[in-house]
Amino acid sequence: MDRRHGTPTFRLTQMLSDHGCFGSYLCRIGKEETAVCHHCGNCREDTVQHTLAECPAWDEERSALCLVVGGDLSLPTLVATMVDSRRSWKAMVSFCERVMSQKESAKRDRERTDPVRRQLSRRRRRGDDI
């Protein structure tokens, strides 16, 4: 609370709250039929932790983050590191912006090319029951 750096961004908030383009969340709210990771194909459940620490699709972004914050990518450790250091905060925001923007773009592409996903998305925007 006493830190003098860092403003939460939209994508950082998505990562910290698990309310973003993660298969587990999208499946839970009815926007995806399964929770699989569409970026690596190796994971049955795309979660925040999978995105942060495991998914090979984000190896480059993860390497840049680890150079600043270290190797422990658990959320409690990341939050403590971010609050403690302006540099760590910026590194995490950068990771979130780069990764989440790509995940969002891929989700939009899936909606454009898959009629079922497009229908799910339309129903959610209109507020219809699924």
3-state secondary structure labels for all residues of 98-120: HHHHHHHHHHHHHHHHCHHHHHH
Compute CA 13 distance to the chain's CA centroid, rounded to the nearest angstrom.
9
Residue range 65-116, pLDDT digits in tens: 999 999 999 999 999 999 999 999 999 999 999 999 999 999 999 989 877 6
32 close to 38: Cβ distance less than 8 angstroms: no
Distance separating alpha carbons of residues 29 and 33, to the nearest angstrom: 10
pLDDT of residue 122: 58
- Domains of the chain: which residue ranges? 17-125
Percent of the chain predicted with pLDDT > 70? 85
Distance separating alpha carbons of residues 55 and 47, to the nearest angstrom: 10
Give the pTM.
0.85
pLDDT of residue 114: 77
Residue range 37-47, pLDDT digits in tens: 999 988 999 99
Residue range 73-86, pLDDT digits in tens: 999 999 999 999 99
